[in-house]
Amino acid sequence: MRYIRIHKEGRLILGSLLLILLLMNLFIYIKFQLVVLAINTVVSALLLFFFAYFFRNPVRRVVIDDPSLVVAPADGTIVVVEPVEENEYFGDKRIQVSIFMSVFNVHANWVPVRGTVIKSIHHDGKHMAAFLPKSSTENERSTVVIETEFKTQILLRQIAGALARRIVTYAHQGKECHINEHLGFIKFGSRVDIFFPLDTEIFVQVGESTIGNETIIARLNE
């Protein structure tokens, strides 16, 4: 059985929205006819449902005995699987796997592999559509580099999209991280890029869907 809760990043927003809608409906109840109140109540309920759905936080636990396996850090659709030059940190060619999250996907991000965070930095930038290739280097983004116990390094990039205006990253330099832990959260449409060594075995293809913290997307050559 799957348990779903509201992510902590959305609790204040939902609480504030609920209070505003209650006050609005109270005002309408006092000043207008019941038919207006009924319509506004339906609209309010739909709005609350949308925000609760967006900030949903499904409880997922995966047991992986093989430390070379990499799980998807996000729900979404694979939009890129290709070798590219990664110039921000590695300065060489890497395999890029990109997951695009629509506004209807879960927007919590998970740690994809056990290891130690050796870099975590936030970059200000533009807010172009997250599915565009240049969003990886020009949009607002956070970069996290994780080193596994076998000294293999992978880079994750949380990218804000056209609607997203806030990236939250829980990974900090020097912190040990594990599968089943949250890496962060991106609000309202976004993308996650993962950069692997060239000898990594990739299990996903463009167009496939991923489930964060469940779908196995790669095997590192440890």
Q: For residue 194, which of 128, 121, 136, 114 has the smallest C-alpha distance?
A: 136
| Catalytic (active-site) positions | 190
State the Cα–Cα distance between residues 148 and 150, nearest whole angstrom. Answer: 5
Q: Is 201 helix (H, G, I), strand (E, B) or coil?
A: strand
Among residues 184, 186, 198, the alpha carbon closest in space to that of 154 is found at: 198
From first to last of its 222 residues, the chain has per-residue pLDDT tens of 455 687 777 778 778 888 888 888 888 888 887 888 888 888 888 888 887 777 788 888 888 889 899 999 999 999 999 999 999 999 999 999 999 988 888 888 999 999 999 999 988 877 766 666 667 777 888 999 999 999 999 999 998 876 655 788 998 999 999 999 999 988 766 889 999 999 999 999 999 999 999 999 999 997
- Other CB atoms within a 10 A radius of the CB of residue 74 amount to 29
Q: Count the neighbouring beta carbons within 10 Å of the beta carbon of residue 38.
A: 11
What angle (nearest 5°) sits at the alpha carbon of residue 164, between those of residues 59 and 118? 65
